[in-house]
Amino acid sequence: MNNRDRFLNLFLGKQIDRAPFLDFMGQWPSTLARWKGEGLQVREGQSPDEAFREAIGFDGGRGMYLPADTFICPGYEPVELENDGRRILRRNRWGEVVQDLAGSEVMALVREGPVKDRTTWEQVKEHLQWDTPGRLPADWDEVVKEAKASGETVYAGDLPAGFFGAPRELLTLEVQVMLFYDDPDLMADILDTLCDLWIGLYRRIQEDITLDWCFIWEDMCYKGGPLISPAMFREFLLPRYRRLIAAVRSGGCPLILVDSDGDQRPLTPLWLEAGVDLLMPWESQYGLDLVEVRKAWPKLGIIGGLSEQALEQGREAMNRELAKLPYLLEHGRYIPSVDHNITPRVSWDHVRYFYDRLQDLIHRHPPCY
């Protein structure tokens, strides 16, 4: 079986030899730089990511991503606004004012969104039409040909294509959460415009190639739960989720994946009601018991749930994390993965040990459908 067969059969509850062994979350560039100094061999013409996957023996990564522009298009001209050598303030291609720290790999802090009121919304709205030229890359035909021949799953959607994630980039989090109350009609228009954008764009993609899964990025939870109430989700987000998912399913896409950090459990029933099949990355640092998640939702697709921090702490901590895998692997619909990108605090020795054990468990505990 190739990666595509394993992934689809696993999450559709069909017969499978084993779960796929995938590098689903990746690692920071500085992590790869550390590993190169500790023994990772990178051949000429090979990227550090490729060398890492080869050395570990992964089946592959997430799959073949179709690089369609799912947000502001055409983008704005980026401009640097301030730079004191440590803090850099700039306006990015989405029209946001963001703050970076020099040399940092952490996501930029959004200080100001392009939408501030109804007038600015109408200006931005023109950049959120699905048929704007340039949403598909110039070499689209070659991208499609490569994806079809790859033996990997094919997916579309990425940051910030989500019904909480994208409005946050337009408004900032503080403005967004208040807008649900202060101007629900404006929020509804933003959500409907985004939904129309993604339906139109994904339908266009599906004219040329079958999507195996659709990626929805939210990051709408933290360790204490969701950033909006389940009632607010039901009122504003659930109808748009249903409309988008119905559209991509009608085009032949069998699986819908949502990516949200934090404690996703209060929203999980609503995502399932909307038609979502897979949730990731199931952060473990707030005390999550992934076995209890599986027991609560037996048919939910789960990716992640293994503490990245355990890799920093050593073999005893890694063994505790890996001890839950036999149950999860045997019950199926699960791909084991770290719950965040691996940081440079993890040594090459630790990552090799972790993934050697993980690969062995995958082979010894196939799903028992």
* pLDDT, tens digit, 9 for 90 and up, residues 291-341: 999 999 999 999 999 999 999 999 999 999 999 999 999 999 999 999 999
Q: Which residues, 6+ apart, have CB-to-CB distance to 207 below 8 Å?
A: none
Q: C-alpha angle with apex 75: 70 to 78, nearest 5 degrees? A: 130
What's the pTM?
A: 0.96
pLDDT at residue 357 greater than cutoff 80: yes
The pLDDT tens digits for 25-36 are 999 999 999 999
pLDDT at residue 106 greater than cutoff 90: no
Q: Taking residues 257-282, what's their average pLDDT?
A: 97
Q: C-alpha angle with apex 60: 261 to 297, nearest 5 degrees? A: 40
Domain carrying residue 324: 3-73+115-364
Q: How many domains does the chain have?
A: 2
Same domain, 263 and 342: yes
Amino acid identity for residue 364 in this structure: R
Same domain, 101 and 238: no
Same domain, 84 and 201: no
pLDDT for residue 279: 98
The residue with tokens 């999507």 is 211
Local confidence band at 285 (pLDDT 50, 70, 90 cut-offs): confident
8 Å CB contact between 188 and 240: no
Same domain, 83 and 178: no
Same domain, 209 and 260: yes
Local confidence band at 263 (pLDDT 50, 70, 90 cut-offs): very high
Domain boundary among 86, 113, 140: 113
The pLDDT tens digits for 164-205 are 999 999 999 999 999 999 999 999 999 999 999 999 999 999
pLDDT for residue 107: 86
8 Å CB contact between 256 and 278: yes
Same domain, 30 and 98: no
Domain boundary among 91, 113, 135: 113
Same domain, 218 and 336: yes
pLDDT at residue 85 greater than cutoff 80: yes
Same domain, 191 and 283: yes
Same domain, 300 and 235: yes
